[in-house]
Amino acid sequence: MLLRLRSPLSGPDLDRFQGLARERGYDVHVLDRRGLLVELVRASGRTPLGEPGDRVAFEDLACVAAVLDSADAPERHERTPERADTVVRVGAAAFGGAQVALIAGPCAVEEEGLLIEIARAVRAAGATVLRGGAYKPRTSPYSFQGLGARGLEFLARARAETGLAIVTEVLDPRDVERVAAVADLLQVGARSMTNGALLSEVAASRKPVLLKRGVAATVREFLLAAEHVLARGNERVILCERGVRGFDKVTRNILDVGTVAHLKRVTHLPVIVDPSHAAGRRELVLPLAKAGLAAGADGLMVEVHPRPAEARSDAAQAVSPADFAEIARHARELVRLDGRRLALPAADGHVAPTPVPEHRP
């Protein structure tokens, strides 16, 4: 690990720095004449500690200006030769490696009959996971906040009916147990990406986690949010790019396909895209879905509603079941070009049990 220290460097600064290095099993090599560039090397004859927090521990020291190269202190999210692709399985779906899958459903759960109608339609079109918000994060206190526990019941019913796995958002650490009793995949939304208490609880639930990128989160912040889950021993995290906030409003957000491609190179975790929130308008959902997969995404999450004008939230960006079938058709063709495979709904329509974690290789 190569570090730049801040000038001027006091005696106590240096003591603190060297103490931490000793504690973590590093030798300190000073590289330049002012003593501000140092290289930390694993002390010879010692087993490497392999503690993933080493990089952050040094970054946090007041006298460290920057970590220039952190190759010696991998964090748990990092792609390494030994850890190339984590495949996260959720029901019949699998995300990562050569596996691609589609998540679809309404923004919010509204009525049981409607939910089951949508579930059947998206299953028929190729989705393997049903999305639907029971607890909705809303900008205004006067907006519809979701059906809560009743919404969870409807989701459970939809799973029983269609065999689709369920992903739904959890907002409050006190709700995690209740939501995890129904959901096969727990969604942490963009507005909650920095909610450490929530990340802690979803990690503890042992369920797979769908973590959405904050609307202005850097890649490092996004990966460290995932690290909050991984560090607590839950390694089934799917990252979701859903658009970053830009300066123009012709699209709701800017789908950051460069970050999708970059993430596939630096982390072993699967990465999916949410073209609906990025687009904000249904006519842009298909091209953004295609762009996301072409950039390397391991899946899509799409808002679908049979009569979007009646939806109680995000109506402008929901596509019809027929449009979703078109998206699924394009997805199938696109991933085939790369030698990847789109997961199909289980043939019999029964609930597939959520399997134990799998990591590749």
Q: Which of residues 59-98 bind a copy of itself (CB under 8 A)?
A: 59-60, 62-63, 68
Footprint (CB under 8 A) of a copy of itself, residues 13-42: 13, 16, 31-33, 37, 39
Q: Does 312 bind a copy of itself (CB under 8 A)?
A: yes
Listed residue (69, 77, 147) closest to 114, CA to CA? 147
Query: Would you list the DSSP string of 168-191?
Result: EE--SGGGHHHHHTT-SEEEE-GG
Q: Which stretch binds a copy of itself (CB under 8 A): 91-99, 113-121, 226-234, 342-350?
A: 226-234
Kind and range of the H or E element at 238? Answer: strand 237-241
Q: Choose, by CB under 8 A, the member of 48, 333, 355, 360 that binds a copy of itself.
A: 333
Cα separation of 184 and 105, whole Å?
15
Footprint (CB under 8 A) of a copy of itself, residues 87-146: 137-145
Cα separation of 181 and 357, whole Å?
18
Do 243 and 277 touch, CB atoms closer than 8 A? yes
Q: Does 339 bind a copy of itself (CB under 8 A)?
A: no
Q: Does 183 bind a copy of itself (CB under 8 A)?
A: no
Footprint (CB under 8 A) of a copy of itself, residues 251-310: 251, 253-262, 264-265, 278-279, 283-284, 287-288, 290-296, 308-310
| Closer Cβ to a copy of itself, 165 or 327, answer by number | 327
| Closer Cβ to a copy of itself, 82 or 265, answer by number | 265
Phi then psi dihedrals of residue 29, to 5 deg:
-110, 120
Q: Does 204 bind a copy of itself (CB under 8 A)?
A: no
Rounded to a whole number of angstroms, the minimum distance from the CB of residue 230 to a copy of itself is: 8
Q: Does 44 bind a copy of itself (CB under 8 A)?
A: no
Rounded to a whole number of angstroms, the minimum distance from the CB of residue 331 to a copy of itself is: 11
Rounded to a whole number of angstroms, the minimum distance from the CB of residue 312 to a copy of itself is: 7
| Closer Cβ to a copy of itself, 12 or 355, answer by number | 12
- What order of strands is seen across the sheet that includes strand 358-360? 93-95, 85-90, 358-360
Q: Which stretch binds a copy of itself (CB under 8 A): 84-92, 116-124, 168-176, 340-348?
A: 168-176
Residue 90, CA distances (Å) to 17, 19, 60, 124 in order: 44, 45, 37, 18
Q: Choose, by CB under 8 A, the member of 116, 117, 194, 306 that binds a copy of itself.
A: 194
Q: How many CB atoms lie within 10 A of CB 312?
A: 15
Q: Choose, by CB under 8 A, the member of 82, 248, 347, 356 that binds a copy of itself.
A: 248
Residue owning tokens 């190269």: 69
Residue 93, CA distances (Å) to 18, 292, 346 in order: 48, 18, 9
Q: Is 261 helix (H, G, I), strand (E, B) or coil?
A: helix
Cα separation of 66 and 60, whole Å?
10
Q: Is 33 exposed, middle or buried (0-12, 13-18, 19+ CB in 10 A)?
A: exposed
Q: Choose, by CB under 8 A, the member of 192, 205, 234, 267 that binds a copy of itself.
A: 192
